[in-house]
Structure 1
Amino acid sequence: MQSNVLYEKTGRVAFLTLNRPEKLNALDYATNDRLLSLLDQIEADDEIGAVILTGAGERAFSAGGDIHEFTQSIRRGTDEAVRDFCRRGQRMTARFEAFPKPVIAAVNGIAFGGGCEITESVHLAIASEEAVFAKPEINIGIPPTFGGTQRLPRLAGRKRALELLLTGDTFGPQRAHELGLVNDVVPGEDLLPAAFDLAERILRHSSLAAARIITAVTRGINTTIEEGLLIEREQFARMCATADVQEGLDAWIARRTPNYLGQ
C-alpha cells in the first residue's frame, strides 16, 4: 500500500510529499497523523537540518481537508468532529509552526483550506506560478479549522484576511506573495530547485541558532514587545555556552567558513 506521505532524505534535507494526487492531496486523518509521525522522526534525526514539503502530481499542493471523511465525523456528532477533524488539524499546523528545524512549503498547485493553512503555518514558502490559493470553508458553512482564522490575519492584516475568509474567493501566487503568505514565486520547473536552494542557504549556518530563532519568533510574535524581548534574551542565553557560538566567533575572527558539528 502506497504511503499517503512520501519521505526522502536528500543530504541534510527531509523531503516530504503529500501523496494522494487522485484526491488532490486532500488531508484525511491518516495523512495528518502520518505528517505528525514523520515530524517526530525528523526532529530526532540529527543529520537533518531542514524540511521541504510539496504535493504529488501536477494539480495540487493540497486541496484541504478530506470533506467526505469530515462529513462522516459531523454526522456522528459535534464532539467527534471537533476531536477528529479540528483538533487533529490544529495539532498538525501547530507542529509545523513550532518545529525546531526550518520547514519550507513548495506550493506546486491548488492550496485550498487546510493546504493554505499549512502554507500559513510553516516557516517559509515558495509558490509556483501555477499555484492557486483559497479559504473556501465558508462555502460549506464552517470557519477554517486548522488555524486559518488566526494565522492569516497575523500574516496579511485583519481586513485583507477577512475578505478572503468571508468570500472564499481564490487568489493567485502574486497576491499570496503580497499578503506575506509566500516568500517567492517562481516558474513551475524552478520550484523544487528554489526550495532546495533556500534550504541550503539556511543549512550553512548553525542549526542550533536556527532553532533558537524559530522559537523566539514563534513564541514572541503573539506577545507584547517586552515579553518578546525576554524570550529573545532567553534564546540568546541558551546559545551562549554552545560550541556553535565559539566556532562562529572563531571563524569570523579568522575570516574562514564556520565548521559546525554535524554539518
Structure 2
Amino acid sequence: MSTTVLMKREGAIAVLTLNRPEKLNALNYEANDRILSLLDQIEDDPRLRLVILTGAGDRAFSAGGDIHEFSETVKMGPDVAIKAFVRRGQAVTRRLEAFTKPIIAAVNGIAFGGGCEITEAVHLAVTSDKARFSKPEINIGIPPTFGGTQRLPRLAGRKRALELLLTGDEFSPDRAYELGLVNRVVPHDRLMPATFELAERILRHSPLAAARIITSVTRGINASITEGLEIEAEQFGRMVGTKDINEGLDAWIARRIPNYSGS
C-alpha cells in the first residue's frame, strides 16, 4: 500500500496527510493516484463526513509537482506529458473541488505550484502564519497545469492573479487571505485545533444539505445567473422528502438541536 498519502480517522473526519516530507511533500504520480483512491474510499463511507488535508512535517504543505519525475515525462513529448502529468493533476484538483463532502486544507508550510492549486481547489482552507505561497511554474518555463490559471483568477481577480502567475513571487498567508485563497490565518501551533474547530461547526449540520450546497456552488459558479438558479432549485428539490429536511424543520419549530441521519 502506498504511504505517499496517509489517512487517519478522527470520528466523522478523515485526515489525509501528504507524506513525502523529505521531498517537501511534492506530488509525484503515485501521490496523485493515492489521493484519488482515498477520496473514493471516503466517498463510499457514510461514517466519514468531512476531510482535512494537510502535509507531513513543519516545512511544507506541498511544494507542488515532482519536477524530477515530471522532467523525465517531458522528454517523451507533449502527448505523454499531458496525459501523465497534466491530466493526472487536474483530475485531483477537479475531484477535490467537486467532492460532495466538505474538504478543508490545513496549510502547514509552503504551498507552491500544485500545493497552491490544491489550496485553490478545496472548499475551505486554514493556514499557518508560517506558511508561504507561490505560483512558481513560470520559473521553469511552463504555465500552471493543475488548474492554477483558471481558479486563481476566479478567486483573486484577473490582474492580481496575473501578477502572481507572471512573476512567480512568493506571497504571505495574509496576502493569501486577502486574495481569497484561505479562510483564516492562525498561529502555527493552532493550525490543527483551528481546522478541527471549523470542521465541527460544519458537522453540526445535515451532511445532505452540505453536499447540495457544495454541488450548487461548484456547478453554478461559472454558469450564468439563470443557469445557476436552476442548479440551486434542482439541489433544493433533491432535499425535499429526505429525513434530514424534515428533522431540520421539526427541530427548528420545536426549538431543539436537530439530529441528522444523513438520509
What amino acid is the match of 1:72? Answer: E
Equivalence for 1:257: 257
Equivalence for 1:171: 171
Contact 2:132 2:170 in 1 (8 A): yes
Equivalence for 2:33: 33
1:73 equivalenced with 2:73 (yes/no): yes
Q: Secondary structure at the match of 2:9?
A: strand
Q: Secondary structure at the match of 2:94?
A: helix
User: Shift in Å at residue 76 of structure 1?
Assistant: 1.1
User: Shift in Å at residue 27 of structure 1?
Assistant: 0.1
Please give the TM-score of this superposition, normalised by the length of structure 2: 0.99
Post-superposition CA distance 1:36-91 (Å, at most 9, x none): 00000000000011000000011000000000000000001111100000000000
Question: Equivalent pairs: percent with the same residue?
Answer: 72
Distance in 1 between the 2:166 and 2:180 partners?
19
Q: Which consecutive segments of 4 or more residues in structure 1 shift more than 6 A? A: none
What amino acid is the match of 1:74? Answer: V
Please give the residue correspondences for 1:211-250 in structure 2 after superposition, counting only pairs within 5 Å: 211-250=211-250
Contact 2:14 2:51 in 1 (8 A): yes
Equivalence for 2:187: 187
Distance in 2 between the 1:2 and 1:208 partners?
31
Q: Secondary structure at the match of 2:223?
A: coil
Unaligned 5+ segments in structure 1 are none
Distance in 1 between the 2:51 and 2:191 partners?
15
What amino acid is the match of 1:50? Answer: L
User: Shift in Å at residue 262 of structure 1?
Assistant: 5.5
Post-superposition CA distance 1:126-152 (Å, at most 9, x none): 000001000000000000000000000
Distance in 2 between the 1:63 and 1:99 partners?
23
Distance in 1 between the 2:178 and 2:187 partners?
17
1:143 equivalenced with 2:143 (yes/no): yes
Equivalence for 1:18: 18
1:84 equivalenced with 2:84 (yes/no): yes
Distance in 1 between the 2:262 and 2:249 partners?
18
Q: Provide the aligned length of Structure 1 versus Structure 2.
A: 263
Equivalence for 1:61: 61
User: Shift in Å at residue 2 of structure 1?
Assistant: 6.6
Contact 1:52 1:104 in 2 (8 A): yes
Q: Secondary structure at the match of 2:133?
A: strand
Q: Secondary structure at the match of 2:85?
A: helix
Q: Secondary structure at the match of 2:57?
A: coil
Post-superposition CA distance 1:70-124 (Å, at most 9, x none): 0000001111100000000000000000000000000000000000000000000
Distance in 2 between the 1:205 and 1:48 partners?
14
What is the Cα-based RMSD across aligned positions, in Å? 1.0
Contact 2:208 2:244 in 1 (8 A): yes
Contact 2:244 2:262 in 1 (8 A): no
Please give the TM-score of this superposition, normalised by the length of structure 1: 0.99
Q: Secondary structure at the match of 1:125?
A: strand
